[in-house]
Structure 1
């Protein structure tokens, strides 16, 4: 590929529209394009993957300066950006814009973020999909959520005293939260019924650089040395920790691997390629993933190959900065078991789709998100075709995260709408059995261990499948993936 990337990412982020309104009250004649909006339009015209499908992004739009100026100056930057998306919410559910003066989702694949320190999924309580609950997937050690006593498997029913609903669950991203936790959870007539604890939990966001290598354990069943690895984000500033974990697995004699990507929304493409090499390692320099850009950037189309080296980054001024290369520690596995969920996306889906062209990949859990596109951060730096952070205008802090490419496995096979697991687990079973990582009561882990060992795992879990929403009718419940973004960051020429 002609274009080299310092950091390549595919990450699950959150879409937030800044609170601004269209400018329709300016009575003064406008003769020049607004500087910020000019950046928004021209960057999108150059890089947006679906640019040919959006009439308002046609090159002909700038044929008349007066017409172009009137068009782009008629909206606030965020409103203009979202008006340019191709079938927003259906085809393009992932592009977003950010003004770093506002409190919005950060756009880094390796950085310190301001957050509460807990991951969650949102579930309807019944088929009406109005009243909701949030299930805590995991809690970051030492985070405000951990210090407040929140734990994996907790069920959040209220936020700031109000019932969690389809209209207010986005408030779970607020800077300070008062959460009501369920004391008990039951399924009655396929509806989720909760009773609340008498006390509440308060969580205040703080700066966290979360280690995505969340949990590792060796489990031994006869001759099976099974590694169970929970990996929650492809973060390039933790490439060395991931590589060190595989070194530990090598020393532990791991010959089977359960890779838990249920809460992994993606991240660095470079890290995803390295992970594949760590799992097998026998296909060095072979093509792994193919990237396809729009017609204006066909020269950037091409393969990312498997490598025996991984680059290590540290954060400098909250930007990932290259430090050194390390030799990759490989397990030489020819089969792995991957736990997936409706929150598994982008680089995690890439891992399944691309790795299975080389080894056997068995998936267990739920249908994935279905995000086979990615993006890169665009800055107001026209001299570098909007890709340079260093050359950006310092007059404002707007930056774009539009979809700029799609990706495929090495054979360029068409991607599915979502990855369907080989062995389906009812997502609502987690409410009764979401125990700490490594506990075999976890239905997905239990299934993986049974497939590996050929044994039935006897547990005392509360998994009463007959009371759960039917797998055939889960579309009516539709658990909500609260993450809506997918991007490649730090495109560097």
Structure 2
């Protein structure tokens, strides 16, 4: 099948582009087709998953040159692109276009990125959904955030001197940001109340190739050797580190696994398939995921199967390059416990939905994002059906990231709106109790340990029983650092030859 020959990705999250996004008319009234907009329309006409549902993407639109030019001309490329999306913001929440000079949202599965080094989640302070706080999920070791003294569980209340709100939280993605932290956090019956620390912390982004295998610990309760693994992105250039983590767990005699995917927004499909094999390993060559494209690309439809091998990559010129193949280290588990949140998406949701067809998967936490669609990057290379980077038109730097396929488990079961956890945890309960990874004060980890051991795991966790509403579109729009990874299928050797 042809799937391995093109780049595909699941990508989620609100895209904060520079000033070009939806910037309106460029007053182009030429009788000829605008070159860039011609690329935008034709690439979308070919690949967009919902192309049959969008009247302006109908093949009939190109029958009349004058009508076609009237449709595509007189708009900026991004304005045209967003006008072609199917029920944008409701059905299609994830497609975007970018000019590579203004990239804010990455579309890679392995790369060095400009980052501050702190992952965060945004929470409303009350039901008005106006004033916000940002809870720091974790800090990348050695990052600017780490050097600035930030730590997991810190609460950000102000940004550049202003109260954090639904209108300015995106400034946390600026190249440099000055933040104020909370000195105290309390809950009333209807709101989250904070007081500020004196002074501020400034974080300036730097180049980071974050290791997504963030934490591993063995916990022993009687005969239960419990592995706790925090995995924050499906990055193919860390396949060897992930495989090594499972080798360590094998040597540690792990017979129970808590897999923490709360902050994992997706990544490499190949890595996702390998992870399933590492967890169990008994279903080699069996189908794992089914991908479905639009009718113009039915030849791309098909399964990805479980394999006993995993490809190892290294970054060369910031692109993953094949190094070798490794045998997968498998734990032969028939049950796992997965920690999830409203930031869990894409390849993480795939892991839950597809793996549960083979073993028992217990989920603990919150409803996930609900992203069961994906994308392949489209370039201005019409002779190569818009999928060749090396053969692209170099006179401009626009590229598209539209939804181009949906995915299903091996039985092609209909996907839910999102994954509802088997055991729900109030997301606000992490405030005051989010210390270092592995600390049993963490209510999510604590619940998993209780389910595994059948015991009450006593802690010194601070009690708070907030009843705040968690609205704002499941908060997925408010977590840009955690929702940009996506899910790819990629044959890197073939890609380099294009």
2:42 equivalent to 1:45:
no
2:467 equivalent to 1:469:
yes
Partner of 2:450: 450
Determine which of 22, 25, 38 is the counterpart of 1:23.
25
Mapped to 2, the partners of 1:160 and 1:426 lie a distance apart of 30
Mapped to 2, the partners of 1:445 and 1:157 lie a distance apart of 26
1:160-205 Cα deviation digits (max 9, x unpaired) = 0010111111111111100000000000123100000001010001
Could you list the runs of 5+ residues in structure 1 that have no partner in the other structure? none
Determine which of 479, 485, 491 is the counterpart of 1:482.
479
Q: 1:270: Cα distance to partner?
A: 0.9
**Aligned CA distance change for structure 1 residues 477 and 223 (closer, same or farther; 3 Å):** same
Native 8 Å contact 1:8 1:270 kept in 2: no
Partner of 2:421: 421
Q: 1:5: Cα distance to partner?
A: 3.9
Native 8 Å contact 2:7 2:377 kept in 1: no
Mapped to 1, the partners of 2:443 and 2:456 lie a distance apart of 12
Partner of 1:183: 183
Native 8 Å contact 1:367 1:418 kept in 2: yes
Partner of 2:97: 97
Mapped to 2, the partners of 1:221 and 1:448 lie a distance apart of 13
Matches for 1:429-440 after TM superposition, within 5 Å:
429-440=429-440
Partner of 2:392: 392
Matches for 1:189-228 after TM superposition, within 5 Å:
189-228=189-228
Matches for 1:5-24 after TM superposition, within 5 Å:
5=5, 8-12=8-12, 14-20=14-20, 21-24=23-26
2:49 equivalent to 1:54:
no
Mapped to 2, the partners of 1:2 and 1:67 lie a distance apart of 35
Mapped to 1, the partners of 2:320 and 2:474 lie a distance apart of 36
Partner of 1:264: 264
Mapped to 1, the partners of 2:238 and 2:140 lie a distance apart of 15
Mapped to 1, the partners of 2:329 and 2:390 lie a distance apart of 34
Native 8 Å contact 2:16 2:170 kept in 1: no
Mapped to 2, the partners of 1:463 and 1:374 lie a distance apart of 40
Native 8 Å contact 1:450 1:457 kept in 2: yes
Mapped to 2, the partners of 1:237 and 1:260 lie a distance apart of 20
- TM-score of the superposition, structure 1-length normalised? 0.96
Partner of 1:85: 85
- TM-score of the superposition, structure 2-length normalised? 0.95
Q: 1:24: Cα distance to partner?
A: 4.7
Q: 1:487: Cα distance to partner?
A: 5.3
2:300 equivalent to 1:300:
yes
Q: 1:16: Cα distance to partner?
A: 2.6
Q: 1:319: Cα distance to partner?
A: 1.2
SS in 2 for 1:198: coil
**Aligned CA distance change for structure 1 residues 477 and 181 (closer, same or farther; 3 Å):** farther
Q: 1:376: Cα distance to partner?
A: 1.0
Native 8 Å contact 2:7 2:489 kept in 1: yes
1:457-491 Cα deviation digits (max 9, x unpaired) = 111111222xx016xx4447954442466454768
1:318-353 Cα deviation digits (max 9, x unpaired) = 111111111111000000000000000000000000
Q: 1:313: Cα distance to partner?
A: 1.1
Native 8 Å contact 1:129 1:477 kept in 2: no
**Aligned CA distance change for structure 1 residues 392 and 25 (closer, same or farther; 3 Å):** closer
Mapped to 1, the partners of 2:58 and 2:35 lie a distance apart of 19
Mapped to 2, the partners of 1:413 and 1:477 lie a distance apart of 25
Mapped to 1, the partners of 2:10 and 2:237 lie a distance apart of 15
Q: How many equivalent pairs are there? A: 487
Native 8 Å contact 1:123 1:478 kept in 2: no
Mapped to 2, the partners of 1:488 and 1:294 lie a distance apart of 18
Mapped to 2, the partners of 1:119 and 1:428 lie a distance apart of 17
Mapped to 2, the partners of 1:407 and 1:458 lie a distance apart of 41
SS in 2 for 1:418: coil
Mapped to 2, the partners of 1:25 and 1:99 lie a distance apart of 19
Matches for 1:275-290 after TM superposition, within 5 Å:
275-290=275-290
Matches for 1:320-469 after TM superposition, within 5 Å:
320-465=320-465, 468-469=466-467
SS in 2 for 1:432: coil
Q: Name the Cα RMSD after superposition.
A: 1.6
